[in-house]
Structure 1
Amino acid sequence: MGLQAELTELQPVVMNLFLKSIRENRLSHGYLLEGARGTGKKRLALFLAQTLFCLEKKEQDVACGHCVNCVRIANDNHPDVHWLEPDGASIKIDQVRELKADLSKRGMESDRKVLIINEAEKMTAQAASSLLKFIEEPDSELLLLFITASSGRILPTIQSRLQTVSFKALSFKHLVKAFQEAGISEQKARIYASLTNNVKQGMLFEDDENFSEARKVVLKLYESLTRGEFSPLILIQDSWVPLFKEKAFCALGLELFLLLYRDRLYLTLFEEYQPVCSGQKDLLKQDALQISLAETTREIELILAAKSKLDSNMNMQLLMEQLILKMQRR
């Protein structure tokens, strides 16, 4: 599948907007591409650059993806396509000065130039102010593409001079497919896709031994509550607390815990539902038949309430022990 087709499937509304503008020769001088990580913003920026320099474009395929220029742009090797990215934690004014010097020169191979600023929210105030001239007095042959996952951190003076295009979060189906294409099993892909819309983050889960251990502990906690074969309070003390020391990781543990109860809820409501935790499908289907909808809903509310308390300074062991005691009061 070519990049144009891939992006059309991934972000149909965004692509319809840009394809119409390209075919009618009405591209704006600058865009703010905003949306969650992993939603295709960088690939869209690359695609737009390719449409300007493609040597074999057609009415339907506005960037072929395989000509010399398309390949060079894909490999970050075209002299008239400039990328600006954070150097460490931020995009600094020295980077902007160097870039402005390059942009002030004639294009190496044509009069067209493209500037793509990735993670634009990380520009220092000085760097952002220094770029304003290019936005206020745009060169007619310069296309500006600002990419951000946090549009609220972009200076209003910059936002007001760009056309904002919002990218929708990826669907569960698209995320599962993306994880599988990255070599993840479907069973794991469904879990990762329920926790993050960022494929790179999911790959971190895959490589993290603590994440694998977290899934085991969470499942054991669920079984201790539903089967009563061992004490959930002892499990919290012996397994949960040593593993989930950090607040963020504890939040992830509660999210994994919540997935089991959500699956049970949907299995209660919909007979044909395919659970996210597919490895526990038989266990959850059995519980869905035996535990009332009201009880499942109550337990979900308790887990959500515990997650909200993580932002306070409450002791995490105490928080989990209170959660378990409340869940045991049927």
Structure 2
Amino acid sequence: MKLTISDIARQAGVSKATVSRVLNNRAEGVGPQTRQRILEIMKETGFQPSGFARGLATGRSASVGVIIPDIVNPYYSLLVRGAEDVLKKSGYGLFLCNSDHDIVKEKEYVSKLIERGVDGVILDSAESDCGCHLELLDEKKIPYVLVDRIIEDPSKYPGVYVDNREGGALAAAYFFDQPGCRLLFINGPIEYSQSHLRQAGVEGAMRQRDLPAEALIIRYGDFSIESGFQLTHEMISRMDGQELPFTSIFLANDLMAIGALRALKRANIAVPDQVEVIGFDDIELATLVEPPLSTVSQPALEMGSRSASMLLHMMAGKKLREKTVMLKTHLTLRGTTREKQESAL
């Protein structure tokens, strides 16, 4: 049976508050002999105080909650790793919560993290409207940083984001600058801020070049490999004789792009000779598929580390110099585009 502070207090003949003072190296009200007796009992019994017990005594738990929408997606693994590396150096542990893109589950996790007494929260929200549980964190005076998905007015909340509009425009510009381009854009759910902004970037690049409506076909997936496969397969099945309805595909994340590559391979459509493909994220899998995936790279690791640094600043009671951080994207050309960067040749 695990010993508690109450057990140590009983054996030492002191109050729980006295044991807590010794645990947290506070001298007031504790004589040297009493302190020594408590420490000896702890050593003899192998007592290990829980983080929660320490939190009750100190008002801080040295823990941070991180809520992400999809633990299976390697992109979020990178984001969490970036946050964890920074938090660990400052002595913080991490509670990882997976919302499965479910706002109800996300709200439940916020409540549970508050119950656990976390010192702060990093939130990649499942929806653009999560104001109600942010208000709950505000009421409890728990600092938080939003990451990745922009909600409502981004200037209202501390957050670290990537320029998704720019990322969408970069990929679209590569394709639209080619004569006769017919681009199939497979986006994520349009209610997500990333999807909305990436589509805005694509459509903006199209307007800049004054291209006809038939230059762009838009379909909506769910960011999974399977949806990328299914939507690409459906478009291939609409071939008019030998004419494909598209010359290139831009997909709003790398997982869907990997699904699209599988559909193209099954249909014996050569990549990049017949169809070029660009994804978004630059996860490790992008370099492992064949041919290696060209993609819009976003700094997931940096996004995680910057959000953790901001949170540490807030938990220390300091004011942020920048409430909103917007990171840049860049185009990484590999084997699924006819043009390749020198390092990919």
Q: Counting strand residues as a fraction of each chain, which structure ranks higher?
A: 2
Instruction: Please report the TM-score for the alignment, with normalisation by the length of structure 1.
Output: 0.30
Q: Counting helix residues as a fraction of each chain, which structure ranks higher?
A: 1
